[in-house]
């Protein structure tokens, strides 16, 4: 009599499979949305931006009769609606920084990398999540500031703009996308480089906002050869904030290239530092 021995069926277990980018993305989004401060920052960024733009539009309407000819000629119904944008800038910078530094301060970053040792994957997931939230903020605030201001301008007899105007459409589309990316990803990169919330926020505000404030105060050579290639000023060239005859103006293609180089370079530097330093 012959006896046959049954061979066990080979089975491959997936229980030890490492999480993919989708899992990392979901994890980072869960962490970000579960923090109460995230929604406080988002709410303040939207509310203060739109509210102060409406206030600035009201002040313009109440005072325009006393304007001189120069001020009246400089009035722009598109750019003037962005009076509350500074609040959105600063709060979006805070969001881009704290998504990183909050984990360092709470010692959660070590746990994050134990759960997912692929640092570049975690870095990319965090960048994607914070960038998407930043774009969501700007997609609400920038059209909101524009739409709330135009009826006020019209009520007081000031020039108004329509969403269907070519200049307005171009501004709203570019600004809504680029503002959110710019003011989250650059501070995000600085957060990895500096690791401290206060230092990263301070440095980000100085880097992103100070150049356009200092431009009129520096020599023309510096404007043409230094500030002209700063990403914030290149961004303003795309928006139409910087006039074509200004010393800091860049054409569309060079402006896009400058912004891309700065953002890619800073993110690459942050990723390199992350992989070379201990958590």
Residues spanned by the domain of 86: 21-276
Residue 157 falls in which region: left (phi positive, over 0), alpha (psi -120 to 50) or beta? left
pLDDT at residue 86, rounded to an integer: 86
pTM: 0.87
CA distance 238 to 247: 15
Q: What is the DSSP letter of 227?
A: G
> pLDDT grade, residue 268 (50/70/90)?
very high
Average pLDDT over residues 67-88: 86
Residue-wise pLDDT tens digits, 101-118: 999 988 889 988 988 899
Dump pLDDT digits (tens) for 18-40: 668 888 999 999 999 988 889 99
Compute the residue count for the chain.
279
Task: Give Cα 20 to chain centroid, integer Å.
Answer: 26
Asked whether residue 52 is assigned to any structural domain, the reply reads: yes
Q: Extract the tokens encoding 74.
A: 């400089």
- For residue 198, being part of any structural domain is answered with yes
Domain count within the chain: 1
């Amino acid at each position: 009599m012959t006896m046959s021995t049954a061979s066990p069926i080979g089975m491959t277990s997936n229980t030890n499979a490492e999480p993919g980018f989708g899992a990392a993305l979901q994890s980072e989004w869960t962490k970000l949305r579960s923090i109460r401060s995230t929604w406080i920052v988002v709410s303040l960024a939207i509310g203060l931006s739109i509210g102060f733009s409406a206030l600035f539009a009201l002040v313009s309407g109440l005072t325009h009769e006393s304007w001189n000819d120069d001020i009246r000629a400089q009035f722009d119904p598109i750019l003037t609606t962005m009076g509350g944008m500074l609040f959105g800038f600063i709060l979006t910078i805070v969001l881009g920084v704290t998504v990183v530094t909050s984990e360092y301060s709470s010692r959660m970053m070590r746990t994050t990398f134990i759960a997912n040792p692929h640092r570049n994957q975690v870095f990319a997931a965090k960048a994607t999540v914070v960038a998407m939230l930043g774009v969501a903020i700007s997609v609400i605030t920038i059209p909101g500031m524009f739409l709330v201001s135009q009826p006020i301008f019209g009520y007081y007899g000031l020039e108004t703009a329509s969403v269907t105007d070519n200049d307005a459409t171009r501004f709203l589309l570019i600004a809504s996308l680029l503002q959110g990316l710019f003011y989250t990803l650059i501070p995000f990169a600085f957060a990895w480089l500096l690791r401290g919330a206060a230092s990263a926020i301070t440095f980000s505000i100085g880097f992103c906002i100070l150049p356009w404030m200092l431009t009129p105060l520096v020599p023309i050579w510096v404007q043409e050869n230094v500030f002209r290639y700063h990403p914030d000023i290149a961004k303003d060239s795309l928006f139409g904030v910087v006039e074509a005859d200004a010393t800091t103006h860049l054409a569309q293609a060079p402006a896009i290239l400058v912004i891309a180089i700065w953002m890619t370079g800073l993110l690459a530097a942050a990723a390199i530092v992350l992989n070379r330093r201990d958590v």
